[in-house]
Structure 1
Amino acid sequence: MFLWRALSGALAIAERLNSRGMGVEPNCKICHGSTESINHVLFQCSAALQLWSGAGFTLPSFVMAHSLEENFSYVFNLMEDSNRPQSLIRTIPWVLWLIWKNRNSILYADTQESMERLLRAMSDEVEQWFLLNNTPSPATDLSGRLEDRDKWCPPASGFIKCNIHANWRNVHLHSGVAWIARDQAGNVSHHARDAIIHAPNHMVAELRCVIWALSSLRDLGVPRVIIAIDYHKVLEAINAPRQWPRFGDLLEQVVNFKEVFESLVFEGEKVSANGIPRDIAKIVLRDGRFHSYLAFGGPSWLHDRIAR
């Protein structure tokens, strides 16, 4: 509704000025191909079509002939399409708003950012909005092995269970990452920590943490691995990478590790059962421990916690 009013007001100004003999150019200031209207700006202008396509939507040819109401009805129906990834269809309101903001930046601020940068910023806004406004649902079985218990549970015999965590705060700070590997008896074989930079969001930090942990376990010669994660969006993305195209490169690296190990399982973990790697990752920023290390056993300062 806000977007509709903003566009209506802006475009009505041109009509009123022309009615008073001001001679304002009625054609679109971006493509110069048609009379500027709300329908044209959002659905027919070449700049709008490029943003729709870049966001993952190829608008059908009939939008060029349909009315504004029909085109709005079409995109709102897309939001109810269960055959499309939810992560994609929920961006539709932001795409509309992005088209309008991009038009204003070009016309009134004389600035134009690359489409990739615009879409990346939009995706960050969408993710942040849903993160802040959605009430977390009870943990569901994303991998077939999501534990209901609050305490850490050992893996099956012959497996090493590697709990990981990425302590991401914002794009401007380092992210602390950590993992700790234990066998079926609960004995710690190794633990590690590191700092990563330029992670634009929590999802990227967690995926990079997964890749780092898998690389380390591969180099250590561990054949059968369970990666336990408390950030369950990562599990959703690993299980259905095509529905998360924005993280395609990172997800491809993760999936390729399945050919490296004899067995590789990704398991959901409750936050309360993932406290050890979370604490290790937190000290990276808290204490400025930006140097990486890999060590046998668990950290001495968490010995009692690990034993319990």
Structure 2
Amino acid sequence: MAMDKLKHIIRETLDVFNLEKEGQNLAKAAHLVPWLLWRIWKNRNELISKGKEYNAQEVLTKAMEDQEEWERREAEANGPRCPPNPPARETREAVKWKKPPQGWVKCNTDGAWSKEGNRWGIGWVLRDNQGKVLWVGARALPRTRTVMEMETEALRWAVLFMSRLNYQNIIFESDAQELIKLLNSGEGWPHLDPQLQDIRSLLPNFNEVKFVFSSREGDKAADRVARESSSLENYDPKVYSIMPNWLKSIVELDMEM
């Protein structure tokens, strides 16, 4: 019976979607497809677990709301990374990179992009509780992803590498605030779900993990690595066990008291 109801919801939803296409731009309607599928999947789970039903118009409305929310988050991610012209001394002291507690390591991740060019860069920097750089990862990506997907890939790659190195207590820090919210809330988004699922599947390999937001000013080393990555000649990942010379000045500034 539940499956019959689910099939009915899907048919109704697709009928409404076809009507939408007749009255709106086809390209705009096509962008709604992932959100409809995402919402149908969520409603299928609620129907099976809670017996809760939604009609086609409700499904369509929620899918459009999901799309609008994603576009808002993308716009925020593409916007200014910090307030314009902040007082230099005050901002630098307020958001300076902080050492992790004793027994912990901290991994900062970031992505770099520009309006020109066909590639983006992602990077991460792992440091101990004394601020010593342990590992650095740099990698270029083809420019086929959204900003949020790029930031998520930077974090996913870092989590994967840290799990292989067997670190147990680790803080992952990123300036992608919406991404950190998703990870801490357990929520998902259609375009990010494969990456988020990969991240979450790796968490049992650690003893304790924290996902923390940091402004760009507190994440300068990872930002420098990401910008360097965007200029790499190929898409092969590069991992350094010795800090590269081009990163030393940024790390030294972080260590100043």
- 1:264 equivalent in alignment to 2:226: no
The alignment covers a number of residue pairs equal to 210
Give the structure 2 partner of residue 246 of structure 1: 191
Give the structure 2 partner of residue 205 of structure 1: 150
CA 1:285/1:137 → structure 2, altered by over 3 Å: closer, same or farther? Answer: closer
Helix, strand or coil for the counterpart of 2:251? Answer: helix
Give the residue type in structure 2 aligned to 1:248: D
Distance 1:164 1:213 in 2: 7
- 1:41 equivalent in alignment to 2:19: yes
CA 1:130/1:160 → structure 2, altered by over 3 Å: closer, same or farther? Answer: closer
2:172 equivalent among 217, 221, 227: 227
Instruction: For residue 245 of structure 1, report the CA deviation from its aligned partner.
Output: 3.4
2:67 equivalent among 69, 87, 91: 91
In structure 2, runs of 5+ residues without a counterpart are: 1-17, 44-53, 84-92
CA 1:202/1:295 → structure 2, altered by over 3 Å: closer, same or farther? Answer: same
Give the residue type in structure 1 aligned to 2:55: P
1:2-45: CA deviation from partner (whole Å, max 9, x where unpaired): xxxxxxxxxxxxxxxxxxxxxxxxxxxxxxxxxxxxxx934999
1:32-80: CA deviation from partner (whole Å, max 9, x where unpaired): xxxxxxxx934999x99x958436278626x6xxxxxxxxxx899x68x
Give the structure 2 partner of residue 11 of structure 1: none
1:155 equivalent among 93, 100, 110: 100
- 1:298 equivalent in alignment to 2:235: no
Contact 2:95 2:217 in 1 (8 A): yes
Helix, strand or coil for the counterpart of 1:245? Answer: coil
Contact 2:111 2:154 in 1 (8 A): yes
Higher Cα radius of gyration: 1
Contact 1:242 1:248 in 2 (8 A): no
Instruction: For residue 292 of structure 1, report the CA deviation from its aligned partner.
Output: 2.7
Distance 1:238 1:157 in 2: 24
Helix, strand or coil for the counterpart of 2:223? Answer: helix
Instruction: For residue 255 of structure 1, report the CA deviation from its aligned partner.
Output: 0.9
1:54 equivalent among 16, 33, 37: 37
- 1:277 equivalent in alignment to 2:253: no
TM-score for the superposition, normalised by structure 2: 0.65
1:188 equivalent among 130, 133, 146: 133
Contact 1:168 1:205 in 2 (8 A): no
Instruction: For residue 131 of structure 1, report the CA deviation from its aligned partner.
Output: 5.3
Identity of aligned residues (%): 18
Give the structure 2 partner of residue 36 of structure 1: none
Distance 2:102 2:229 in 1: 32
1:113-146: CA deviation from partner (whole Å, max 9, x where unpaired): xxxxxxxxxx6x66555656x88899xxxxxxxx
Distance 2:118 2:101 in 1: 37
Helix, strand or coil for the counterpart of 2:123? Answer: strand
1:164 equivalent among 109, 123, 135: 109
CA 1:246/1:154 → structure 2, altered by over 3 Å: closer, same or farther? Answer: same
Distance 2:157 2:80 in 1: 30
Give the residue type in structure 2 aligned to 1:271: R
Q: CA RMSD in A?
A: 4.1
Helix, strand or coil for the counterpart of 1:91? Answer: helix
Contact 1:199 1:205 in 2 (8 A): no
Contact 1:56 1:88 in 2 (8 A): no
Give the residue type in structure 2 aligned to 1:295: Y
Give the residue type in structure 2 aligned to 1:190: W
TM-score for the superposition, normalised by structure 1: 0.56
Distance 1:273 1:257 in 2: 26
